Chain A
């Protein structure tokens, strides 16, 4: 028995070697981008693999000012923040209604909202574009914010409904018997209580919105977001890799920072979704 345990420990140690290499490969691309972004074009051509010996921030400055990344960044921040806040408010309101209030067709409405998970943007691409054109929402930030909200909403509503229906009912009943209006109950009781779920949703939706390229590509042709801008730069800067990698680093930085700060929350948020599914 001890032998088997020993043998198992040995095989685990052997397995750790390829697993470690895989882990390094997960970090390498970002290292690659940062390292090359710090080189001059000349240094890069001379030595692609070496460390940037005389790091320069010139590429970042250039990418930020000359390639309009400042505008793109601003667009991404506004649309992501707008959609994330809207998603939090709308899904919390809907979750409260679905989990705590009684009204006809409650289950049916829940099913309608959730069944739209089966309809990704590719499936409704043409009518979606017509809707956007018809409402004059093309190339507007508000149009992109509404689109993100619509496409990331069902999962958020599901999470908030599940979270609120797990709360003790007495809390809500007590607030209502005190004579509070339902909107006040939502604001003073449900929003503070729902904060943990709302923050997790906020982070996951930030990743979704910031990283999106398809929806932004469809609706923001002139008024680009970062991801659309970066994919356009790719063709333009094929011979200026350090400048291009600086753009990549700028576009990825907010997500990397978010991941470092909220890693536990992101991981547990996704695990919760998975186990519940």
Chain B
């Protein structure tokens, strides 16, 4: 659950067409007459002050994010190492990625992770609907479910590495039941599923919160009316609640996907180190390995661009989807 705001924030800006700017431009007309009266000089002064107020934010964002994006693309076309700027080699780094078995398996792992997205979305949705419908103990659930999401992936990874290690508590408990232990994190067949389960366990509370926020917009009268007409619970869910939640489902799908592609580093780093072999290596982890351990920054930059291409498409989808929702 790294970067709470980041993940939630991403979709927000895509609705900028109807959010802060639009609102202030509405009021613009109201103040326009007063503004016009103000002298030309004071309006220029206002612009200068505004720019000064924005300089720190713009400087940081340009310096650490926007300029590096273009710079990184430049590096990806060279043979640079940590000490040598290298020379222009065109798309060679990208072609190398296609041949790199590590990159291929990281993409396969990413694909497997993305297959789990429907579960990441529907489980929190079902839990949120149940809480909203008044399951006993809902206040408790609501406050406890979010708890793992505020803990660092390092904390969660460390605890689970103790629990799931070959000599760990889970195997100890299984032994008492007469079941032989499994090296959960040391076997390539179990490492990725186990990592994914831990990731979903540690972030589902976030999804529950998002769906609860969405459920508060579902008209109560509609649900009540259906109930009075004798609709069964599953009918109400299927025909009323879930269709009403559609924008939230889309929203949740996109932020979950972006989250799975860009915020599993901490958990993998602590839990498996990408192994055994490459069985839990994902693209973001491979980028880090290529830059640091392998000292191949140019190749790392190319992998970054590939990751950006994927998340960029998702962000674009998100923008389209949300602006459509906004026009309703």
* Chain A residues with CB below 8 A from B222, complex form: none
Number of A-B contacts (CB under 8 A): 386
Distance of A17 Cα from B309 Cα, bound (Å)? 43
Q: Is chain A's interface secondary structure helix, strand, loop, or mixed overall?
A: helix
Does A48 touch B at the CB level, under 8 Å? yes
Nearest Cβ distance between residue B37 and chain A, in whole angstroms?
Answer: 11
Does B274 touch A at the CB level, under 8 Å? no
CB–CB B213/A274 < 8 A: yes
* Chain B residues with CB below 8 A from A201, complex form: 5
* Chain B residues with CB below 8 A from A122, complex form: 262, 265, 283-284, 287-288, 304, 307
Pick the residue among B43, B143, B169, B266 that contacts A49 (CB under 8 A). Answer: B169
* Chain B residues with CB below 8 A from A26, complex form: 144-145, 147-148, 205
**Which of these binds chain B: A52-60, A61-69, A191-199, A244-252?**
A244-252
CB–CB B304/A124 < 8 A: yes
Does A93 touch B at the CB level, under 8 Å? yes
Does B54 touch A at the CB level, under 8 Å? yes
CB–CB A100/B304 < 8 A: no
Chain A residue with the shortest CB-CB distance to B211: A274
* Chain B residues with CB below 8 A from A153, complex form: 57, 60-61
Known: A26-B205, A97-B53, A211-B154. A231 touches B141 (CB 8 A): no
* Chain A residues with CB below 8 A from B43, complex form: 102
Does B40 touch A at the CB level, under 8 Å? no
B:31-87 near A, CB below 8 Å: 31, 34-35, 43, 46-47, 49-51, 53-54, 56-58, 60-69, 71-72, 75
Nearest Cβ distance between residue A37 and chain B, in whole angstroms?
Answer: 11
Contact residue range for chain B?
A: 35 or more
CB–CB A210/B152 < 8 A: yes
Distance of A259 Cα from B217 Cα, bound (Å)? 26
Known: A12-B133, A109-B58, A131-B63. A102 touches B162 (CB 8 A): no
CB–CB A244/B158 < 8 A: yes
CB–CB A49/B72 < 8 A: no
* Chain B residues with CB below 8 A from A104, complex form: 47
Distance of A36 Cα from B158 Cα, bound (Å)? 13
Distance of A244 Cα from B2 Cα, bound (Å)? 22
Kindly name the residue among B60, B288, B312 whose own CB sees the greatest number of chain A CB atoms within 10 A. Answer: B60
Chain B residue with the shortest CB-CB distance to A152: B5
Distance of A274 Cα from B249 Cα, bound (Å)? 11
Pick the residue among A173, A204, A214, A230 that contacts B34 (CB under 8 A). Answer: A173
* Chain A residues with CB below 8 A from B46, complex form: 101-103, 182
B:194-247 near A, CB below 8 Å: 201, 205-206, 209-210, 212-214, 216-217, 227-228, 230-233
Chain A 120-154 near chain B by CB (<8 Å), digits 1 or 0: 10111111111100000000000000110111111
CB–CB B68/A110 < 8 A: no
A:99-116 near B, CB below 8 Å: 99-104, 106-107, 109-116
* Chain B residues with CB below 8 A from A38, complex form: none
Distance of A212 Cα from B284 Cα, bound (Å)? 15
Pick the residue among A19, A109, A165, A173 that contacts B135 (CB under 8 A). Answer: A19
Known: A123-B72, A128-B64. A248 touches B155 (CB 8 A): yes
Kindly name the residue among A27, A159, A256, A274 whose own CB sees the greatest number of chain B CB atoms within 10 A. Answer: A274
Nearest Cβ distance between residue B3 and chain A, in whole angstroms?
Answer: 5
Pick the residue among A159, A186, A211, A245 that contacts B53 (CB under 8 A). Answer: A186
Nearest Cβ distance between residue A191 and chain B, in whole angstroms?
Answer: 13
CB–CB B8/A155 < 8 A: yes
* Chain A residues with CB below 8 A from B328, complex form: none
Chain B residue with the shortest CB-CB distance to A233: B158
Nearest Cβ distance between residue A119 and chain B, in whole angstroms?
Answer: 5
B:135-179 near A, CB below 8 Å: 135-137, 140-148, 150-163, 165, 169, 172-173
Kindly name the residue among A110, A123, A204 whose own CB sees the greatest number of chain B CB atoms within 10 A. Answer: A123
Pick the residue among B2, B137, B151, B227 that contacts A252 (CB under 8 A). Answer: B151
Chain A 162-205 near chain B by CB (<8 Å), digits 1 or 0: 10111001000100000000110010000000000000010011
* Chain B residues with CB below 8 A from A115, complex form: 13, 66
Known: A102-B46, A112-B61, A259-B147. A120 touches B16 (CB 8 A): no
Distance of A19 Cα from B134 Cα, bound (Å)? 12
Pick the residue among B13, B147, B173, B205 that contacts A117 (CB under 8 A). Answer: B13
Chain A residue with the shortest CB-CB distance to B314: A118
CB–CB B20/A16 < 8 A: no
CB–CB A241/B162 < 8 A: yes
CB–CB B162/A244 < 8 A: yes
CB–CB A123/B172 < 8 A: no
Chain A 238-263 near chain B by CB (<8 Å), digits 1 or 0: 10010011001001100110110001
Distance of A45 Cα from B137 Cα, bound (Å)? 36
Nearest Cβ distance between residue A83 and chain B, in whole angstroms?
Answer: 11
Selected A-B contacts with CB under 8 Å, 23 pairs: A20-B141, A30-B159, A113-B61, A115-B66, A117-B10, A122-B284, A123-B307, A125-B72, A125-B301, A126-B75, A130-B71, A155-B9, A204-B4, A207-B4, A208-B2, A213-B2, A214-B2, A227-B154, A245-B162, A271-B213, A274-B8, A275-B216, A277-B9
> Considering the complex of A and B, which 8 residue pairs feature the smallest CB-CB distances, nearest first?
A155-B9, A211-B152, A155-B5, A114-B13, A150-B64, A127-B68, A103-B47, A124-B68
